[in-house]
């Protein structure tokens, strides 16, 4: 009885995770689309909001008993941390990532995201848009690495901006709808 009561008293962690994902994804893909260089701004956002905030949200989802949210936020939080490690390569003697290995890395994230997208078919449309566009983003980034195509990479950037914005929209909808006790933003 007290465990169920505790689960119900925990705030919804999804908006935090969605904001962490959405804002970081927008920022990185503004770079991928060619508007800004890859800089410490993106790395810091990826570490703090993309990584830490999503991992915290994922752990809270585990506590609430939400397997989907726990898996998604925790996995994508660690995705950001692993991506940062790939970029900065702090391990002496370990070869830096090449385009082929990045293609496989991003391709595996595409497969994972496709299965998560299938899970969203039981969720709201806003979540389906986030995971559907993220699947396309990972596919395009993987293809861009395998082919060396800057055009595909730039297109992926625009898809990523849309994906990140859709996650921010989803987060804001959840927050505002809960605060007002009615549908302010349709999800």
Q: 117-171, pLDDT tens digit by residue?
A: 999 999 999 999 999 999 999 999 999 999 999 999 999 999 999 999 999 999 9
Residue % of the chain over a pLDDT of 90 = 93
Domain spans, the chain: 2-180
Angstrom distance (rounded) from CA 16 to CA 123:
18
pLDDT confidence bin for 1, thresholds 50/70/90: very low
pLDDT confidence bin for 6, thresholds 50/70/90: low
Residue 3 predicted with pLDDT over 70: no
Residue 4 predicted with pLDDT over 90: no
The per-residue pLDDT for range 62-71, each reduced to its tens digit, is: 999 999 999 9
b (16+ CB within 10 A) / e for 72-96: bbbbbbebbbebbeeeeeeeeeeee
Neighbours of 34 (CB within 10 A): 12
Max CA distance (Å), the chain: 57
Angstrom distance (rounded) from CA 12 to CA 62:
12
The per-residue pLDDT for range 30-84, each reduced to its tens digit, is: 999 999 999 999 999 999 999 999 999 999 999 999 999 999 999 999 999 999 9
- Mean pLDDT of the chain, nearest integer: 95
CB-CB contact of 59 with 10 (8 Å): no
Angstrom distance (rounded) from CA 54 to CA 78:
8
Residue 183 predicted with pLDDT over 60: yes
């Amino acid at each position: 009885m007290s465990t169920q009561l505790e689960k119900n008293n925990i705030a919804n962690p999804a908006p935090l995770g969605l904001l962490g994902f959405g804002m970081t994804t927008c920022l990185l893909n503004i770079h991928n689309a060619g508007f800004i260089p890859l800089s410490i701004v993106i790395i810091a956002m990826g570490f703090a909001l993309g990584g830490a905030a999503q991992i915290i949200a994922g752990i809270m989802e585990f506590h609430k008993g939400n397997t989907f949210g726990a898996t998604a936020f925790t996995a994508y939080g660690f995705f950001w941390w692993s991506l940062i490690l790939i970029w900065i390569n702090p391990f002496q003697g370990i070869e830096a990532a090449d385009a082929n290995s990045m293609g496989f890395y991003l391709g595996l994230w595409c497969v994972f995201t496709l299965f998560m997208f299938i899970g969203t078919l039981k969720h709201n449309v806003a979540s389906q848009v986030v995971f559907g566009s993220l699947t396309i983003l990972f596919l395009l980034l993987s293809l861009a690495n395998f082919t060396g195509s800057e055009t595909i990479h730039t297109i992926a950037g625009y898809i990523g901006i849309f994906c990140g914005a859709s996650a921010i929209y989803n987060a804001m909808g959840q927050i505002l709808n809960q605060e007002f006790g009615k549908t302010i933003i349709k999800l």
